Amino acid sequence: MSAPIISLESLTNTTSSGQLLTTAKSGGCASSSCGSSSSSTDTDPATWEKIKDHPCFSEEAHHYFARMHVAVAPACNIQCNYCNHKYDCANESRPGVVSEKLTPDQALRKVIAVANEVPQLSVLGIAGPGDACYDWNKTRATFERVASKVPDIKLCISTNGLALPEHVDELAEMNISHVTITINMVDPAIGEKIYPWIFYGHRRYTGMDAAKILHERQMLGLEMLSERGILTKINSVMIPGVNDEHLIEVNKWVKERGAFLHNVMPLISDPAHGTHFGLTGQRGPNALELKALQDRLEGGAKLMRHCRQCRADAVGLLGTDRGQEFTLDQIPLEVTYNGGKRHAYREVVARIRDDHLAAKNQAITTLGSLSARGTLQVAVATKGGGRINEHFGHAKEFQIYEASQAGIKFVGHRKVEPYCHGGWGEDANLVGIIAALEGIDIVLCARIGDCPKNKLMEAGIRATEAFGYDYIETAISALYATEYGDDLSQATA
Ligand code: CLF
Ligand code: SF4
């Protein structure tokens, strides 16, 4: 039986009565029938239950589920050389201004409004714009309010770790299930190049003393969380020439202390942001340098490669930001929680997830049975749902996959300015897109015009809409088989 193709729109759109539309398009999906386990194949069932709807802790979940941040914690107890406190916390966000800082009561209103309207919402995170553990009273008050009014949302926190140990027990009592610590070094000599000062125990420390205290508190906090069974993710900012090689050591340390994930993010450095690194010309890594380091870290702590370095007030699927739809002036003073859309959406996702997993497994089987050798770098335009369902001209980012006989691996994303503006192609943006797609063999998208397709081809990058609305892995395995001259039907027979 051929499985139906369900676009993200059909997953997420609702009728005026609040019913989810699940109308399926018929088409060329090669996925087989359902029936396999809904658990991830490489995660134990208890852990999978914790991560299966967290878009940051599970790459698979980020195709379906969304997070929101509330900017309730502006105060910070350290200075990072990549941060200007006028901007978002670079631990969890790109350096753009937070639209509005919120009180805990305002944050609750916003969470209810978003939960009522965004069916994909599964996680509330507090990621600054300062430090959520240092600005603890506001963080705790926000979590308490949300837990009492929207009990079916996961709670998540991000911190620099300095004030973490004193709050670990409260985090556990409040059922905060996921914690991120930004750890950029385990050697204070490197730390002093990243942190000019910290504020700890009513005192300001600088240089090696500051870095040593920060390091010890980060390790202690991580160990305490692991002892309590709270899932931890370590964020590290990759700063070329400062800590890039050193992150291999960081990866070992955090793995030994029970970290679930390690997320290596590129330094964002721009003089316009007014940061020390921006003003002194410290560059960030390019996409290939980041990938090369991530590849070297394979085999250590499990890697996250799908981080979007979101704002401290981001709303929506990773890679999109619907925050401007939910500013306080658009939210009624009295708003009552109604989880109808989210619950209906979850039922739909549960149904199609097995189908997606079966398609992935089939794709992996296909690749494994080929005699071909070689690697294919594929850029995918997607709006979510695990499908190739975005037009080339509308894409704000491309998800990058690496296919080889060993399987299909998500290896990152590349942000771009969309080619299409008001129905017209923007040549200047196409130049930027081609540069961003350096090293890519082929682009998969739902639609593409002849002009951008030809320009890409001139740059040595092929593009096709032939797999539009297919599952990503299904398309890539068919493509790989074609590329390397194997007959797909024979290979999978
Ligand atoms: Fe927010 Fe962070 Fe929780 Fe996610 S973000 S507090 S773990 S809910 Fe996610 Fe955004 Fe990357 Fe952070 S993509 S910056 S990893
Ligand atoms: Fe900025 Fe966050 Fe570092 Fe504080 S912890 S200085 S807010 S990046």
User: What average pLDDT does range 461-483 have in this prediction?
Assistant: 93
Q: Which pair of structure tokens corresponds to residue 176?
A: 């905060």
CA 66 to chain centre: 9
Given this model, what pLDDT does residue 89 score? 53
Task: Outline where DSSP puts E strands in 240-319.
Answer: 261-266, 303-304, 315-317
**Lowest mean pLDDT: which of 60-64, 154-158, 439-443?**
60-64
- Phi, psi for 387 (deg, rounded to 5): -115, 160
Ligand that comes closest to the CA of residue 66: 1
The rounded mean pLDDT for the chain is 86
The CA distance from 147 to 58, in Å, is 23
Give the binding-site residues of ligand 1, using a 6 Å CB cut-off.
Answer: 56, 67, 69, 92, 123, 125, 127, 156, 158, 178, 180, 233, 263, 307-310, 318
Residue 394 has pLDDT above 60, yes or no: yes
Domains in the chain: boundaries = 31-330, 371-491
- Cα angle, residue 268 at apex, residues 445 and 199 outer, rounded to 5°: 140
Strongest mean pLDDT among 322-336, 433-447, 479-493: 433-447
Residue 27 has pLDDT above 90, yes or no: no
Taken in order 295, 297, 300, 301, the sign of the CA dihedral is negative
The CA distance from 296 to 180, in Å, is 22
The CA distance from 192 to 306, in Å, is 29
pLDDT per residue as tens digits for the range 150-181: 999 999 999 999 999 999 999 999 999 999 99
DSSP, res 400: E
Given this model, what pLDDT does residue 169 score? 97
Helix or strand or coil: residue 224? helix
Quick one: CATH architecture of 371-491? 2-Layer Sandwich (3.30)
Q: Residue 168: is it exposed, middle or buried by C-beta count within 10 angstroms (0-12/13-18/19+)?
A: buried
Ligand 2 centroid to residue 126 C-alpha, Å: 13
Q: Is the CB of 76 under 6 A from ligand 2?
A: yes
Quick one: CATH architecture of 31-330? Alpha-Beta Barrel (3.20)
pLDDT per residue as tens digits for the range 2-20: 333 333 444 433 333 333 3
Residue in 118, 114, 109 with CA at minimum distance from that of residue 149: 109
Q: Is the CB of 11 under 6 A from ligand 2?
A: no
User: What average pLDDT does range 366-389 have in this prediction?
Assistant: 88
Q: Is the CB of 163 under 6 A from ligand 2?
A: no
Q: Which pair of structure tokens corresponds to residue 155?
A: 């709670």
pLDDT per residue as tens digits for the range 377-388: 999 999 988 999
